[in-house]
Structure 1
Amino acid sequence: MSLAIARLKQDLKNKQVIKIIAGLSNFDVTNVIKTVKAAEISGSTYVDVASNPKLIKILKSLTNLPICVSSIDAQELYNCLLAGADILEIGNFDVFYRKYIYFSVYQIINLVKQVKSFSKSKPLCVTIPHILSLNDQIYLVQQLQKLDIDMIQTEGYINRSQIISSMSSPILQAINLSSSTLSSSYILSKYTKMPIIASSQINSVSAPIAISYGASGIGICSALKDLKSIYQKVDYINQMKFSVSSCRAMSNSFIQALTKKI
């Protein structure tokens, strides 16, 4: 086991995973490198990039951070594995939602079995589609647990009415934008022991909520898109890390205080 993957397992255990998503359809090498370097400087856990073998090879020569690739194409994931990808993820459903293409529970399970056949000892993550009913999400998670998946990721969605209705309160807006992934994380954490990564519109306000709701870490993407320099990205990631670590520290303090009273 590499030191990077050992760090991933430790961060999952400590519920302090910071996953930096460079953009799963982002093939701008310069832009991706900036994001990856920011993730490395800030001490993030791992990065998630487009499933492109050439991109993987470039990044592997520049960073020691674990590289994750996301796709719903088993062949793409296999090619990236050969190129050096450290973590495989079945996901990146957003591209298909826009085309009104949706994946059923059974399609995802069959895809997981395909990827498991060649993923060997590489960590495997599966995104739980937000378009599924909560009952179907729970059923999917239970089946994934039987298949020994390493971790799952929740996702969410936003619409114009959410943004407009919460414009008067930045804090409420921040929570509202991530409410879908937060609610899925909360419910699914009750039905599985697999680590959960909360992603989709997570920010410094909603990050600690995700952890308190049972997530083992967060995925950061949209908040970094408008930040041009590496140092701006580093500063934002550090804010997120502080939010997550603060939540964990507060939880530990609460548990200690409760134990003393008992």
Structure 2
Amino acid sequence: MSLRNKKLIQKFQDQQVVKVISGLNNFQVANIVKKVKAAEIGGASYIDIAANVNILKVVKSITKLPVCVSSIEPCELYKCYVAGADMVEIGNFDVFYSKGIYFSCKIIREIAKETISLIHDANVCITIPHYLLLNEQINLALELENIGIKFVQTEGMSTSSQHYHFDMGVVRKSITKASSALSSSYALSKHLSIPIIASSGIDLLSAPLAIYYGASAVGLGSSINSCWSVYSQAKYIIEVINSIYSSQKYKCTAMSSRKLKMYKINISLMKSIILSK
């Protein structure tokens, strides 16, 4: 793995990556900047934005976090990579589902091959569609790994289109929302040697489960959308990170002094935000 940002490599190996998804169909700069600030204060590993060169430049100018750009257009990914994106992701299929458009395995492979041919030295991630059967997801992921894809990401039904019974309960609701991502992560982890990013419906409760089931990273999108302020978003990100660390106590009984120091710095920054309001 040859990420432009070397610090991210170790986090993937330690299964401690938390990425913040600004919204892959979100082109509102003010909203994106807000989430970037929350991601940085909260200690997220990297930020995932729509593949737009102008937005990328704005984000790169305000943060040192690695930036991933997402699109299904290889040319857009290429332009962003040249402009400084640390990772590129072939994804955002879900915006087409409401229109009745679903991508076949053949089309996804073609998009992947074209992207790799344009930026063969990039770290390319690809989303595996949730509507495929698990054995189809595994076969597609193996083919993509063989042609040079460096990461795969899980996907589930859009959380905004799902409805839950009011008395379902917090834990049951959380697991239900993340069930597709969790099952795919578990199945894919048994066959792939590349990192898996569990995304779609992942929240504070399901994030450690995703890591336990074999994911190297989790993506937070819908779960932080209900947090309206930078402070509340950053606080939620910290809680997710701590939940993952706590679940890994069988590997490490306590945070390293470096991580503890960073945690205290993040808390201090959060307090300064509150006092400035």
Shared fold (TM-score greater than 0.5)? yes
Instruction: Answer yes or no: is the 8 Å Cα contact 1:47–1:65 preserved in 2.
Output: yes
Gaps of 5+ in 1: 254-262
Structure 2 SS opposite 1:88: strand
For the Cα contact (< 8 Å) 2:42–2:238, is it kept in 1?
Answer: yes
Alignment-derived partner of residue 32 in structure 2: 32
Q: What are the within-5 Å matches in structure 2 for residues 139-154 of structure 1?
A: 139-154=139-154
> How many residues of Structure 1 are paired with residues of Structure 2 in the alignment?
252
Equivalent position of 2:100 in the other structure: 100
Contact 1:54 1:83 in 2 (8 A): no
Aligned ranges for residues 52-67 of structure 1 at < 5 Å? 52-67=52-67
Q: Which range moves more in the overlay, 53-62 or 80-89? A: 80-89
> Against the structure 1 CA distance between its residues 234 and 117, is the aligned structure 2 distance closer, same or farther, given a 3 Å change threshold?
same
Q: CA deviation at 1:161?
A: 7.4
**Alpha carbons of structure 1 residues 220 and 175: separation in structure 2 relative to 1, 3 Å:** same
Alignment of 1:9 onto 2:35: no
TM-score of the pair, normalised by structure 1:
0.91
Q: How does 1:200-219 map to 2 (within 5 A)?
A: 200-219=200-219
1:110 aligns with 2:92: no
How far residue 2 of structure 1 moved from its aligned partner, in angstroms, is 9.1
Distance in 2, Cα, partners of 1:92 & 1:162: 21
1:199-237 CA deviation, whole Å, 9 max, x = no partner? 011011111110110000100000111222111111000
- The percent identity for this pair of structures is 46
Note closer, same or farther for the CA distance 1:30–1:185 as it changes in structure 2 (3 Å cut).
Answer: same
- Kindly provide the amino acid, as one letter, of the partner of residue 24 in structure 1: L
Where does structure 2 lack aligned partners over 5 or more consecutive residues?
254-277
Q: TM-score, normalised by structure 2?
A: 0.86
Name the structure 2 match of 1:163: 164
Check whether the contact 2:116–2:122 (CA below 8 A) recurs between aligned residues: no
Could you list the per-position Cα deviations for residues 31-85 of structure 1 after superposition, in whole angstroms to 9, with x for gaps in the alignment? 1011011111122111001111100011111111111111111111122122221
User: Aligned-residue CA RMSD in angstroms?
Assistant: 1.9
The 1:12/1:161 distance shift into structure 2, 3 A limit, reads closer
Whether the aligned pair in 2 keeps the contact of 1:89 and 1:127 (CA below 8 Å) is yes
> 4+ residue runs of structure 1 moved beyond 4 angstroms?
1-4, 158-162
